Amino acid sequence: MERLQKVIASCGVCSRRKAEELIQEGKVKVDGKIITEMGFKVSLKNNIEVDGIKIQQQDKEYYILNKPRGVVSTARDDKGRKTVIDLIDTDKRIYPVGRLDYDTTGLLLLTNDGKFANDLMHPKNEIDKVYVAKVKGIAKAEHVIPMQNGMVIDGIKIAKAKVKVKKTDFKTNTSIVEVIIHEGHNHQVKKMFEAVGLEVLKLKRERIAFLTLKGLTSGKYRKLNAKEIKQLYDFVNHKK
């Protein structure tokens, strides 16, 4: 027997966090009864319905996408905008592992494996997420050091980041800065720069753990291969 939210996520319906919201909202039934108790124990032998649809175990799929600008990284969008799911040809109910902003480009993983998504997103697993930002202004030590020391953003203490200034251009008054973090707070990288007085003009995620965008132009995707999936599992199980 497992916790209800875990079973829902393991069937690829949504992330565990989203499953908790659906349970709280009374949208989940077990054997015909609405369950709002968090942590209610079930197995797949129970008849579990989410929004009136019976959940079933699915084959797991794992994708890496080079997200273009102007696409939302949620499974559905209230405003009817194009989503990252629209870019991938699958009949499985996959969803993104974490989010990239509408105007952020780069590496996004998508899966219907709830545990995998949850583990990859958890900061305790210290998975490197490598971002490259083009910022307005000349990035100097006074900007970089606070980011390296850990800052408070929206009242939350965030962990130390690895920060490297890759290029400065005095003509255009811009800089290219690489930032490596393990967390994924909302708009984290943009807010970190904002806090030190630099505006982000462009943001791209170039790497997650050992995965890069090699061979994937903007908007293109591929399935992860078995070796990559195993390596990621080993990463989150600390068998690096």
Query: Per rule CB under 6 A, is residue 190 in the interface with ligand URA?
Result: yes
Record the tokens describing residue 162, joined without a space.
């690895």
Is 101 annotated in the active site? yes
- Catalytic residue (one of 101, 113, 119, 169): 101
Is the CB of 8 or the CB of 121 nearer to ligand URA?
121
Beta bridge partners of 129: 181, 208
Record the tokens describing residue 35, joined without a space.
């369950």
CB of 46 to ligand URA, least distance (A): 37
Choices 57-65, 188-196, 207-215, 218-226 (CB under 6 A): range interacting with ligand URA: 188-196
DSSP letter (8 states) at residue 102 = T
DSSP letter (8 states) at residue 236 = H
- In the region spanning residues 88 to 127, those forming contacts with ligand URA, defined by CB under 6 A, are 100-101, 104
In this structure, are residues 12 and 94 in contact, taking their beta carbons and an 8 Å threshold?
yes
Query: Per rule CB under 6 A, is residue 203 in the interface with ligand URA?
Result: yes
State which of residues 187, 194, 219, 228 lies at the interface with ligand URA (CB under 6 A).
Answer: 187
Q: How many residues bind ligand URA (CB under 6 A)?
A: 8
- The full DSSP string for 143-183 is HHHHHHH--EETTEEPPP-EEEEEEEETTTTEEEEEEEES-
In this structure, are residues 174 and 135 in contact, taking their beta carbons and an 8 Å threshold?
yes
CB of 188 to ligand URA, least distance (A): 4
Residues annotated catalytic, as ranges: 101
Residues of the shown chain interacting with ligand URA in the complex, contacts defined by CB under 6 A: 100-101, 104, 187-190, 203
